[in-house]
Structure formats: structure tokens, C-alpha cells
Amino acid sequence: MDELLQSALLYDFYGELLTQKQKQVYELYHQNDWSLSEIAQELSISRQAVRDQLKRTEKILQEYEKKLQLVSMFLEQKKALWHITSIIAEIKREENLSFSSQKKIETIEKIADEIIG
């Protein structure tokens, strides 16, 4: 998986477990696309301190994932849902489905789409 996407998912799942300072530095760098120097100036700390804070925060997020595996489970569930939707599409192409079966399949498809987002 793309490193940027992985980083965003880790933050989405575990960001609230970080301190305010960790969240602030992480968001300025990753979400607002600020440079290390810009963040250092804004927070009145050294560029090296910003870099160290980012590295520590990224390591913390990775450790949360290693222990809890919420992102991995989410990605596996999403992959399974995509598989379900492809099977539904195959079933819908069958010509001799009853009206009742068609409605059930549409309901399953709607639920899967809602979950996938």
C-alpha cells in the first residue's frame, strides 16, 4: 500500500490517541503540507525537534497498528466487500432470477455500498 495512504489511515484510526502536540505537528506536516521549517517557526522550536516529533509520532501510530491491527482488518473487510459486490454483479446478470431474489440482491448490494462508502 502507498505510504501516504497508510499514514493517513493510521492517523484516522489512532490519531485521537496522540497528544495535542503530536497531533498538531502531524497535521501541519501531513495534512496541511507545511515544511519542517514552517512548523518549527510556527511552534517556536527547532527544525530537528519537529523532525524528531514526526518520527516519534509515526512510530507510535505504527506500534498501535502492530498491536491492534484495526487498519489491517478494515482493509481486509473492504476487500471482502468488493468481492461481494463483484459476485452480486455476476448474479444480477443471470436471466432467470425471481423478482424476490432480485429484490434481495438489490438489498445486499445497497448494504455493501453503504459499508464501502
The CATH number of the domain holding residue 59 is 1.10.10.10
Quote the pLDDT of residue 90.
Answer: 87
% the chain with pLDDT above 90: 64
Range of the domain at 9: 3-68
Q: How many domains does the chain have?
A: 2
Same-domain pairing of 45 and 95:
no
Q: In one letter, which amino acid is 30? A: H
Q: Which of 51, 68, 85 is the last residue of a domain?
A: 68
CB 40 within 8 Å of CB 46: yes
| The dihedral formed by the CA atoms of 101, 107, 113 and 115, expressed in degrees to the nearest 10 | -120
In the block, which residue shows the cell 489491517?
A: 72
Q: What is the dihedral of CA 100, 102, 106, 112, to 10 degrees?
A: 100
Q: Cβ neighbours of residue 22 under 8 Å, at least 6 residues apart?
A: 53, 56, 57, 60
The predicted-structure confidence for 13-34, as pLDDT tens digits, reads as follows 999 999 999 999 999 999 999 9
Categorize the per-residue pLDDT at 1 as very low, low, confident or very high, splitting at 50, 70 and 90: low
pLDDT 10s digits, 67-110: 999 999 999 998 998 899 889 888 888 778 888 888 888 899 88
Residue 46 confidence (pLDDT): 97
